[in-house]
Amino acid sequence: MDTQKKSSLRQKFKIYWPFAVSEIQGALSYRGRFYFFILARLFNIFITYFLWKAIFASSGQEIINGFTFNNMVGYIFISYIAADLINSGASRYIGYEVVDGSIAINLIRPINYRIRLFFTSLGNIICRLIMPTLPIWICYTIIRYIYAQELPPAFSTIIQFFFSLILSFLIMFLFEFCFGMLSFYTTYIWGLNVVKYSVLRFFTGELIPITFFPTVIRKALRFMPFSLMNYTPVMVYLGKISGAEYWKSIANQVLWVVLLYFLGSFLWSRAIKRLTILGG
């Protein structure tokens, strides 16, 4: 029984893995465009860096909301790296496929659409990990060591960070899948994506640590999955979430993975019904 289950899992992997591979190949053929995009995003990081520098200089304080300037620089860069590894943009794929109609072919195929999409996203993330995220992280770590004599966190912290990051990726993917279901109801998914992107940048803590928000919003965010997508792993990396608190965060992340999984299944079954109606 157990071996049978294992082999079927392996079979499944064999079926879906090519989707990840094709994504990697696709990304490699558009490399030039991609590097420019990365550079453009790095620019944004530098704006934030200079802003914080001016903010700390103007405040006359060493610590703002529990962050020193060095902490904050770490926060900016690590949250940039984390955001890159978490957001797979799955909702955009769904949008394209609904608009150009290729979703119909994917529905006829004897594969699970969500799992297929998951592997596509995975391929995307693997690409980004190799280039540019890992090189950026290495550069960042070296520069930090030279200028601030700061060592990277302990190996165990990095493992904890990665574990939390993987859960963040899952939460984000499942959220994106739910969000992508909107493509069945409107054709203007581009505009919705822009809204989602700016809201997420805020509530995931990518733009500014969540401790800076007013208490009311912080309390409300506790009941939403957003802070678990970026803020949590970054704070783990910085050593600001550790011990019992770490495991509490992980439990919270797992809870949201389960919730969003079922929500996605529910929304999918409804959206598909609608698609059939439109087709007929």
- Number of residues in the chain: 280
- How far CA 164 is from CA of 100, 206, 247, 261, in Å, comes to 36, 16, 10, 17
Q: Shortest approach of another protein to residue 234 CB, angstroms?
A: 17
Binding status of residue 278 toward another protein by CB under 8 A: no
3 state SS of 61: coil
Binding status of residue 186 toward another protein by CB under 8 A: yes
Binds another protein by CB under 8 A, chosen from 2, 3, 47, 62: 47
Closer residue to another protein in complex, CB, 129/192: 192
Binding status of residue 143 toward another protein by CB under 8 A: no
Binding status of residue 53 toward another protein by CB under 8 A: yes
Residue whose pair of structure tokens reads 């529910």 in the numeric block: 266
Which residues within the stretch 188-247 sit at the binding site for another protein (CB under 8 A)? 188, 191-192, 194-195, 197-199, 201-202, 207-208, 212-213
Binding status of residue 147 toward another protein by CB under 8 A: no
Binds another protein by CB under 8 A, chosen from 7, 11, 65, 106: 65
- Say how many C-beta atoms besides its own lie within 10 A of residue 74's C-beta: 22
- Beta-carbon contacts of 225 under 8 Å, excluding residues fewer than 6 positions away, are 171, 175, 256, 259, 260
Binding status of residue 140 toward another protein by CB under 8 A: no
Residue whose pair of structure tokens reads 């950026």 in the numeric block: 136
124 burial via Cβ count (<10 Å: 0-12, 13-18, 19+): buried
Binds another protein by CB under 8 A, chosen from 9, 28, 55, 224: 55
Binding status of residue 39 toward another protein by CB under 8 A: yes
CA dihedral 133, 139, 141, 144 (to 10 degrees): -130
**Contact footprint for another protein (CB under 8 A):** 32-37, 39-41, 43-44, 46-47, 50-51, 53-55, 57-59, 61, 64-65, 186-188, 191-192, 194-195, 197-199, 201-202, 207-208, 212-213
